[in-house]
Structure 1
Amino acid sequence: MKASCVFRYAKATLVVGDRAYARAPSLEKVAAAGADFIVRTGWTSVRLTTPDGQRVDWNAIYEPMQPGEVCEMNVLVEHSGRKGRGKPPLPTRLIVKRKDEKATQKAQKAAKRGNQRRCSNRLQPMTLIAAGFVMLLTSVPADELTADEVLQTYRLRWQVELAFKRLKSGMGIHKLPARDERLARSWLTAHLILALMIDEAVTDVLDSPPCEDQTTHGAIAVPLEAA
Protein backbone atom coordinates (compact mmCIF):
# COMPACT_ATOMS: atom_id res chain seq x y z
CA MET A 1 0.00 0.00 0.00
CA LYS A 2 1.46 3.31 -1.02
CA ALA A 3 1.22 5.95 1.68
CA SER A 4 0.53 9.56 0.77
CA CYS A 5 0.59 12.68 2.84
CA VAL A 6 -0.96 15.99 1.89
CA PHE A 7 -0.13 18.90 4.15
CA ARG A 8 -2.63 21.73 4.23
CA TYR A 9 -1.39 25.16 5.23
CA ALA A 10 -3.66 27.06 7.58
CA LYS A 11 -4.56 30.63 6.80
CA ALA A 12 -2.65 33.39 8.63
CA THR A 13 0.14 31.03 9.73
CA LEU A 14 3.89 31.41 9.22
CA VAL A 15 5.76 28.58 7.52
CA VAL A 16 9.52 28.39 8.13
CA GLY A 17 11.64 26.10 5.96
CA ASP A 18 15.18 25.40 4.81
CA ARG A 19 16.51 25.89 1.29
CA ALA A 20 14.92 22.66 0.03
CA TYR A 21 11.59 24.50 0.07
CA ALA A 22 12.85 27.53 -1.83
CA ARG A 23 11.00 26.55 -4.98
CA ALA A 24 8.36 28.55 -6.80
CA PRO A 25 5.63 25.82 -6.65
CA SER A 26 6.17 25.27 -2.91
CA LEU A 27 6.07 28.98 -2.10
CA GLU A 28 3.02 29.48 -4.30
CA LYS A 29 1.09 26.80 -2.36
CA VAL A 30 1.79 28.60 0.89
CA ALA A 31 0.72 31.96 -0.52
CA ALA A 32 -2.41 30.48 -2.14
CA ALA A 33 -3.50 29.14 1.26
CA GLY A 34 -3.30 32.61 2.77
CA ALA A 35 -0.20 31.77 4.82
CA ASP A 36 3.23 33.42 4.87
CA PHE A 37 6.68 31.91 4.57
CA ILE A 38 10.30 32.41 5.59
CA VAL A 39 12.68 30.13 3.71
CA ARG A 40 16.39 30.01 3.23
CA THR A 41 17.62 30.25 -0.34
CA GLY A 42 20.80 30.06 -2.35
CA TRP A 43 21.95 32.07 -5.30
CA THR A 44 20.83 29.26 -7.67
CA SER A 45 17.91 27.84 -5.67
CA VAL A 46 15.22 29.80 -7.44
CA ARG A 47 15.01 32.33 -10.26
CA LEU A 48 14.77 35.82 -8.78
CA THR A 49 14.20 39.08 -10.60
CA THR A 50 13.82 42.69 -9.57
CA PRO A 51 10.34 44.30 -9.78
CA ASP A 52 11.31 45.71 -13.20
CA GLY A 53 12.16 42.23 -14.52
CA GLN A 54 15.97 42.27 -14.28
CA ARG A 55 17.87 39.27 -12.93
CA VAL A 56 19.14 39.78 -9.40
CA ASP A 57 22.79 40.86 -9.49
CA TRP A 58 24.36 38.93 -6.62
CA ASN A 59 27.74 40.61 -6.98
CA ALA A 60 26.11 44.02 -6.57
CA ILE A 61 24.54 42.79 -3.32
CA TYR A 62 27.55 41.00 -1.86
CA GLU A 63 30.43 43.35 -2.62
CA PRO A 64 29.51 46.41 -0.49
CA MET A 65 28.34 44.41 2.53
CA GLN A 66 30.41 44.22 5.72
CA PRO A 67 30.35 41.32 8.25
CA GLY A 68 27.14 41.42 10.27
CA GLU A 69 25.46 43.85 7.88
CA VAL A 70 21.91 43.14 6.71
CA CYS A 71 20.25 44.33 3.53
CA GLU A 72 16.91 43.63 1.90
CA MET A 73 15.17 44.21 -1.40
CA ASN A 74 11.87 43.41 -3.06
CA VAL A 75 12.15 40.61 -5.62
CA LEU A 76 9.92 38.40 -7.74
CA VAL A 77 10.09 34.60 -7.65
CA GLU A 78 9.81 33.46 -11.25
CA HIS A 79 8.22 30.16 -12.26
CA SER A 80 10.26 27.89 -14.50
CA GLY A 81 9.65 24.78 -16.55
CA ARG A 82 6.63 23.72 -18.55
CA LYS A 83 4.24 23.67 -15.57
CA GLY A 84 5.18 27.19 -14.55
CA ARG A 85 4.81 28.70 -17.98
CA GLY A 86 2.45 31.68 -17.96
CA LYS A 87 2.12 31.86 -14.17
CA PRO A 88 2.61 35.31 -12.62
CA PRO A 89 5.73 35.80 -10.46
CA LEU A 90 5.42 35.78 -6.69
CA PRO A 91 6.36 39.03 -4.88
CA THR A 92 8.72 38.42 -1.94
CA ARG A 93 11.40 40.11 0.13
CA LEU A 94 15.02 39.01 -0.18
CA ILE A 95 16.96 39.45 3.06
CA VAL A 96 20.73 38.99 3.06
CA LYS A 97 23.11 38.98 6.03
CA ARG A 98 26.88 38.71 5.74
CA LYS A 99 28.53 36.18 8.05
CA ASP A 100 31.66 36.88 10.03
CA GLU A 101 35.03 35.57 8.86
CA LYS A 102 34.97 32.42 10.98
CA ALA A 103 31.47 31.40 9.89
CA THR A 104 32.34 32.17 6.25
CA GLN A 105 35.39 29.92 6.30
CA LYS A 106 33.38 27.11 7.88
CA ALA A 107 30.61 27.43 5.27
CA GLN A 108 33.10 27.50 2.40
CA LYS A 109 34.80 24.34 3.64
CA ALA A 110 31.39 22.65 3.84
CA ALA A 111 30.62 23.75 0.29
CA LYS A 112 33.89 22.26 -0.96
CA ARG A 113 33.26 18.97 0.85
CA GLY A 114 29.75 18.79 -0.57
CA ASN A 115 31.04 19.38 -4.07
CA GLN A 116 33.62 16.60 -3.65
CA ARG A 117 31.01 14.13 -2.38
CA ARG A 118 28.83 14.83 -5.40
CA CYS A 119 31.84 14.40 -7.69
CA SER A 120 30.68 17.55 -9.44
CA ASN A 121 32.62 19.71 -11.81
CA ARG A 122 34.74 22.60 -10.58
CA LEU A 123 33.04 24.56 -7.83
CA GLN A 124 31.70 27.84 -9.15
CA PRO A 125 33.36 30.92 -7.62
CA MET A 126 29.97 32.44 -6.85
CA THR A 127 29.06 29.39 -4.76
CA LEU A 128 32.05 30.04 -2.49
CA ILE A 129 31.23 33.74 -2.28
CA ALA A 130 27.57 33.03 -1.47
CA ALA A 131 28.63 30.69 1.34
CA GLY A 132 29.56 33.79 3.30
CA PHE A 133 25.97 35.03 3.39
CA VAL A 134 22.62 34.01 4.85
CA MET A 135 19.85 34.58 2.30
CA LEU A 136 16.17 34.39 3.15
CA LEU A 137 12.97 34.85 1.19
CA THR A 138 9.80 35.93 2.96
CA SER A 139 6.30 36.98 2.05
CA VAL A 140 5.80 38.81 5.36
CA PRO A 141 5.49 42.58 4.77
CA ALA A 142 8.22 44.82 6.20
CA ASP A 143 5.73 46.63 8.43
CA GLU A 144 4.95 43.33 10.18
CA LEU A 145 8.46 41.89 10.53
CA THR A 146 11.72 43.77 10.13
CA ALA A 147 14.69 42.13 8.41
CA ASP A 148 16.33 41.42 11.79
CA GLU A 149 13.10 39.87 13.11
CA VAL A 150 12.89 37.64 10.03
CA LEU A 151 16.44 36.43 10.65
CA GLN A 152 15.69 35.79 14.33
CA THR A 153 12.54 33.86 13.43
CA TYR A 154 14.39 31.69 10.96
CA ARG A 155 16.97 30.77 13.62
CA LEU A 156 14.16 29.20 15.66
CA ARG A 157 13.85 26.54 12.94
CA TRP A 158 17.13 24.96 14.00
CA GLN A 159 15.87 24.57 17.57
CA VAL A 160 12.85 22.68 16.22
CA GLU A 161 15.17 20.51 14.10
CA LEU A 162 17.22 19.66 17.19
CA ALA A 163 14.06 18.74 19.09
CA PHE A 164 12.99 16.34 16.32
CA LYS A 165 16.46 14.80 16.21
CA ARG A 166 16.30 14.14 19.96
CA LEU A 167 12.85 12.58 19.61
CA LYS A 168 14.09 10.32 16.81
CA SER A 169 17.38 9.23 18.37
CA GLY A 170 16.20 8.99 21.98
CA MET A 171 12.64 7.74 21.61
CA GLY A 172 12.47 6.31 18.10
CA ILE A 173 9.47 8.48 17.38
CA HIS A 174 10.03 8.17 13.63
CA LYS A 175 9.37 4.40 13.71
CA LEU A 176 5.61 4.12 13.96
CA PRO A 177 4.53 0.61 15.01
CA ALA A 178 0.99 1.09 13.62
CA ARG A 179 -0.44 1.99 10.24
CA ASP A 180 -3.92 2.85 11.47
CA GLU A 181 -4.22 6.64 11.84
CA ARG A 182 -5.92 6.47 15.25
CA LEU A 183 -3.41 4.03 16.69
CA ALA A 184 -0.50 6.01 15.29
CA ARG A 185 -1.90 9.22 16.74
CA SER A 186 -2.33 7.61 20.17
CA TRP A 187 1.22 6.21 20.07
CA LEU A 188 2.68 9.58 19.05
CA THR A 189 0.67 11.45 21.69
CA ALA A 190 1.86 9.12 24.45
CA HIS A 191 5.49 9.48 23.40
CA LEU A 192 5.24 13.26 23.10
CA ILE A 193 3.79 13.45 26.60
CA LEU A 194 6.63 11.27 27.88
CA ALA A 195 9.17 13.48 26.07
CA LEU A 196 7.71 16.59 27.72
CA MET A 197 7.86 14.93 31.13
CA ILE A 198 11.52 13.99 30.59
CA ASP A 199 12.35 17.48 29.36
CA GLU A 200 10.68 19.05 32.41
CA ALA A 201 12.49 16.68 34.78
CA VAL A 202 15.85 17.46 33.17
CA THR A 203 15.13 21.19 33.38
CA ASP A 204 14.31 20.88 37.09
CA VAL A 205 17.61 19.08 37.73
CA LEU A 206 19.60 21.69 35.83
CA ASP A 207 17.87 24.48 37.73
CA SER A 208 18.70 22.86 41.08
CA PRO A 209 22.48 22.74 41.64
CA PRO A 210 23.77 20.10 44.08
CA CYS A 211 24.13 21.07 47.71
CA GLU A 212 27.58 22.18 48.73
CA ASP A 213 29.53 19.45 50.46
CA GLN A 214 30.77 20.73 53.79
CA THR A 215 33.42 18.03 54.11
CA THR A 216 36.95 18.43 52.85
CA HIS A 217 37.12 14.89 51.36
CA GLY A 218 40.49 14.17 52.98
CA ALA A 219 41.96 17.62 52.54
CA ILE A 220 43.42 19.29 55.63
CA ALA A 221 42.40 22.88 56.29
CA VAL A 222 45.10 24.71 58.22
CA PRO A 223 44.09 27.95 59.98
CA LEU A 224 46.01 30.98 58.82
CA GLU A 225 47.16 31.67 62.34
CA ALA A 226 48.82 28.26 62.54
CA ALA A 227 50.36 28.40 59.11
Structure 2
Amino acid sequence: MKMICLLVVMTLLSFKSGAQGFIVLELFTSEGCSSCPPAEELLAKIPPDKQVYILEYHVDYWDRLGWKDPFSSHQFSERQYQYSQMLSSQVYTPQLVMNGTTECIGSDAAIVRSTIHAALSKPAKATLNVQGRIQGNKLSVSQKNILVAVVQKYAVTQVKRGENEGRTLSHIQIVRQLHLVKGTEWMDLPAGFNTEDYEIIAMSQHPSTGEIIAVSRIVPTRI
Protein backbone atom coordinates (compact mmCIF):
# COMPACT_ATOMS: atom_id res chain seq x y z
CA MET A 1 0.00 0.00 0.00
CA LYS A 2 1.08 3.55 -0.56
CA MET A 3 2.14 5.52 2.47
CA ILE A 4 -0.39 8.09 3.61
CA CYS A 5 1.44 11.37 4.10
CA LEU A 6 0.72 13.80 6.91
CA LEU A 7 -0.85 16.83 5.30
CA VAL A 8 -2.65 19.96 6.37
CA VAL A 9 -5.49 21.66 4.52
CA MET A 10 -6.06 25.27 5.37
CA THR A 11 -9.03 26.04 3.10
CA LEU A 12 -11.36 23.67 4.96
CA LEU A 13 -10.63 25.05 8.37
CA SER A 14 -12.67 27.57 10.27
CA PHE A 15 -10.41 29.38 12.72
CA LYS A 16 -12.47 30.36 15.74
CA SER A 17 -11.37 31.60 19.11
CA GLY A 18 -12.98 29.55 21.84
CA ALA A 19 -13.69 26.48 19.66
CA GLN A 20 -14.10 23.43 21.88
CA GLY A 21 -10.93 21.46 22.54
CA PHE A 22 -10.48 17.91 21.24
CA ILE A 23 -8.07 15.02 21.45
CA VAL A 24 -7.18 12.38 18.87
CA LEU A 25 -5.75 9.22 20.43
CA GLU A 26 -3.90 7.10 17.86
CA LEU A 27 -2.88 3.73 19.26
CA PHE A 28 -0.42 1.56 17.35
CA THR A 29 -1.14 -1.99 18.41
CA SER A 30 -1.07 -5.64 17.34
CA GLU A 31 -2.80 -8.87 18.30
CA GLY A 32 0.65 -10.47 18.26
CA CYS A 33 1.90 -8.27 21.12
CA SER A 34 1.19 -9.40 24.69
CA SER A 35 1.71 -5.84 26.00
CA CYS A 36 -1.05 -4.38 23.80
CA PRO A 37 -4.31 -5.65 25.37
CA PRO A 38 -3.93 -3.47 28.51
CA ALA A 39 -3.57 -0.37 26.32
CA GLU A 40 -6.68 -1.24 24.34
CA GLU A 41 -8.57 -1.95 27.55
CA LEU A 42 -7.56 1.48 28.88
CA LEU A 43 -8.90 3.26 25.80
CA ALA A 44 -12.13 1.26 26.00
CA LYS A 45 -12.71 2.65 29.50
CA ILE A 46 -12.50 6.31 28.49
CA PRO A 47 -15.88 7.95 29.19
CA PRO A 48 -17.81 8.82 26.03
CA ASP A 49 -17.11 12.36 24.82
CA LYS A 50 -17.83 13.69 21.35
CA GLN A 51 -14.52 15.56 21.41
CA VAL A 52 -12.47 12.40 22.06
CA TYR A 53 -11.47 10.52 18.90
CA ILE A 54 -9.92 7.06 19.28
CA LEU A 55 -8.14 5.41 16.37
CA GLU A 56 -6.52 1.99 16.72
CA TYR A 57 -4.01 1.14 14.00
CA HIS A 58 -2.97 -2.52 13.83
CA VAL A 59 0.61 -2.59 12.53
CA ASP A 60 2.01 -5.45 10.47
CA TYR A 61 5.57 -5.89 11.78
CA TRP A 62 4.34 -8.35 14.43
CA ASP A 63 2.73 -10.58 11.79
CA ARG A 64 5.93 -12.56 11.13
CA LEU A 65 6.23 -13.58 14.79
CA GLY A 66 3.63 -16.33 14.95
CA TRP A 67 0.23 -14.66 14.45
CA LYS A 68 -1.03 -12.58 11.54
CA ASP A 69 -3.31 -9.86 12.88
CA PRO A 70 -6.42 -9.81 10.63
CA PHE A 71 -6.66 -6.01 11.01
CA SER A 72 -3.00 -5.26 10.31
CA SER A 73 -1.74 -3.13 7.45
CA HIS A 74 1.70 -1.99 6.37
CA GLN A 75 0.13 1.40 5.71
CA PHE A 76 -0.40 1.81 9.45
CA SER A 77 3.18 0.78 10.20
CA GLU A 78 4.30 3.48 7.77
CA ARG A 79 2.22 6.05 9.63
CA GLN A 80 3.92 5.08 12.86
CA TYR A 81 7.35 5.36 11.20
CA GLN A 82 6.45 8.90 10.15
CA TYR A 83 5.54 9.79 13.72
CA SER A 84 8.81 8.32 14.98
CA GLN A 85 10.69 10.81 12.80
CA MET A 86 8.54 13.79 13.74
CA LEU A 87 8.47 13.03 17.47
CA SER A 88 12.02 11.62 17.67
CA SER A 89 10.57 8.49 19.25
CA GLN A 90 11.09 4.77 18.92
CA VAL A 91 8.75 2.49 17.01
CA TYR A 92 7.07 0.12 19.46
CA THR A 93 3.74 -1.27 20.57
CA PRO A 94 1.59 -0.24 22.29
CA GLN A 95 2.46 3.34 21.34
CA LEU A 96 -0.13 6.08 21.79
CA VAL A 97 0.21 9.33 19.84
CA MET A 98 -1.94 12.17 21.15
CA ASN A 99 -3.04 14.98 18.82
CA GLY A 100 0.03 14.18 16.74
CA THR A 101 2.33 16.03 19.14
CA THR A 102 3.16 13.73 22.06
CA GLU A 103 3.50 9.99 22.59
CA CYS A 104 3.61 7.52 25.45
CA ILE A 105 3.18 3.85 26.28
CA GLY A 106 -0.47 3.21 25.54
CA SER A 107 -1.17 1.56 28.89
CA ASP A 108 0.16 4.49 30.97
CA ALA A 109 -3.16 5.55 32.47
CA ALA A 110 -1.83 8.59 34.35
CA ILE A 111 -0.29 10.21 31.27
CA VAL A 112 -3.27 9.36 29.08
CA ARG A 113 -5.80 10.85 31.49
CA SER A 114 -3.79 14.00 32.17
CA THR A 115 -3.22 14.61 28.46
CA ILE A 116 -6.91 14.16 27.68
CA HIS A 117 -7.85 16.58 30.45
CA ALA A 118 -5.35 19.19 29.25
CA ALA A 119 -6.45 18.93 25.61
CA LEU A 120 -10.15 19.22 26.39
CA SER A 121 -9.56 22.12 28.77
CA LYS A 122 -8.08 24.46 26.17
CA PRO A 123 -9.79 25.80 23.04
CA ALA A 124 -9.07 24.28 19.66
CA LYS A 125 -7.34 26.36 17.00
CA ALA A 126 -9.88 25.50 14.32
CA THR A 127 -12.91 23.42 13.40
CA LEU A 128 -13.35 21.14 10.40
CA ASN A 129 -16.57 20.47 8.52
CA VAL A 130 -16.52 17.69 5.93
CA GLN A 131 -19.49 16.33 4.00
CA GLY A 132 -19.69 12.77 2.69
CA ARG A 133 -22.03 10.74 0.50
CA ILE A 134 -22.52 6.98 0.25
CA GLN A 135 -23.69 5.21 -2.87
CA GLY A 136 -23.68 1.44 -2.79
CA ASN A 137 -20.44 0.48 -1.07
CA LYS A 138 -18.53 3.63 -1.97
CA LEU A 139 -17.94 6.88 -0.08
CA SER A 140 -17.52 10.23 -1.78
CA VAL A 141 -15.78 13.16 -0.07
CA SER A 142 -15.44 16.43 -1.95
CA GLN A 143 -12.55 18.06 -0.13
CA LYS A 144 -8.82 18.50 -0.64
CA ASN A 145 -5.87 17.10 1.32
CA ILE A 146 -7.56 15.62 4.35
CA LEU A 147 -7.14 12.24 5.97
CA VAL A 148 -10.28 10.14 6.15
CA ALA A 149 -10.33 7.11 8.47
CA VAL A 150 -13.00 4.43 8.19
CA VAL A 151 -13.33 2.96 11.68
CA GLN A 152 -14.92 -0.27 12.86
CA LYS A 153 -16.30 0.37 16.32
CA TYR A 154 -15.88 -3.10 17.81
CA ALA A 155 -14.51 -6.57 17.06
CA VAL A 156 -13.47 -9.76 18.86
CA THR A 157 -10.71 -12.18 17.81
CA GLN A 158 -9.69 -15.56 19.17
CA VAL A 159 -5.90 -15.61 18.88
CA LYS A 160 -4.52 -19.07 18.09
CA ARG A 161 -0.78 -18.44 17.98
CA GLY A 162 1.89 -15.96 19.04
CA GLU A 163 2.30 -14.14 22.35
CA ASN A 164 -1.46 -13.95 22.92
CA GLU A 165 -2.14 -17.60 22.02
CA GLY A 166 -5.40 -18.83 23.52
CA ARG A 167 -6.70 -15.36 24.39
CA THR A 168 -9.92 -13.75 23.19
CA LEU A 169 -9.14 -10.10 22.41
CA SER A 170 -11.68 -7.29 22.17
CA HIS A 171 -10.93 -4.22 20.08
CA ILE A 172 -12.58 -0.83 19.69
CA GLN A 173 -12.25 1.89 17.06
CA ILE A 174 -10.23 -0.21 14.61
CA VAL A 175 -9.04 1.77 11.60
CA ARG A 176 -9.91 -0.38 8.60
CA GLN A 177 -9.02 2.14 5.92
CA LEU A 178 -7.09 5.40 5.83
CA HIS A 179 -7.39 7.62 2.76
CA LEU A 180 -5.69 10.81 1.71
CA VAL A 181 -8.43 12.69 -0.11
CA LYS A 182 -7.03 15.06 -2.72
CA GLY A 183 -10.30 16.28 -4.19
CA THR A 184 -13.67 14.91 -5.18
CA GLU A 185 -13.25 11.15 -5.33
CA TRP A 186 -15.00 7.89 -4.55
CA MET A 187 -13.41 5.34 -2.22
CA ASP A 188 -14.38 1.75 -1.51
CA LEU A 189 -15.80 0.98 1.93
CA PRO A 190 -15.02 -2.24 3.85
CA ALA A 191 -17.22 -5.25 3.17
CA GLY A 192 -20.18 -5.16 5.54
CA PHE A 193 -19.91 -1.42 6.18
CA ASN A 194 -22.90 0.16 7.89
CA THR A 195 -23.36 3.39 9.78
CA GLU A 196 -24.13 1.62 13.09
CA ASP A 197 -20.99 -0.50 13.35
CA TYR A 198 -18.62 1.95 11.67
CA GLU A 199 -17.84 5.64 11.78
CA ILE A 200 -15.86 7.96 9.52
CA ILE A 201 -13.38 10.47 10.91
CA ALA A 202 -11.71 13.32 9.01
CA MET A 203 -8.49 14.99 10.13
CA SER A 204 -6.38 17.95 9.09
CA GLN A 205 -2.73 17.57 10.05
CA HIS A 206 0.34 19.80 9.90
CA PRO A 207 2.83 18.51 7.29
CA SER A 208 6.04 18.93 9.27
CA THR A 209 5.11 18.72 12.95
CA GLY A 210 2.31 16.14 12.71
CA GLU A 211 0.01 18.25 14.89
CA ILE A 212 -3.64 17.55 14.25
CA ILE A 213 -5.16 20.97 13.63
CA ALA A 214 -8.78 19.93 13.44
CA VAL A 215 -10.91 16.79 13.40
CA SER A 216 -14.54 15.88 12.89
CA ARG A 217 -16.84 12.93 12.35
CA ILE A 218 -18.40 12.65 8.91
CA VAL A 219 -22.09 11.75 8.95
CA PRO A 220 -22.61 10.66 5.34
CA THR A 221 -25.86 10.83 3.44
CA ARG A 222 -26.99 7.98 1.18
CA ILE A 223 -27.82 8.77 -2.41
TM-score by length of 2: 0.27
More helix by share: 1
TM-score, L = length of structure 1: 0.27
Question: Where is the strand percentage greater, Structure 1 or Structure 2?
Answer: 2
Name which structure has the greater RCO, CA cutoff 8 Å, separation 6+. 2
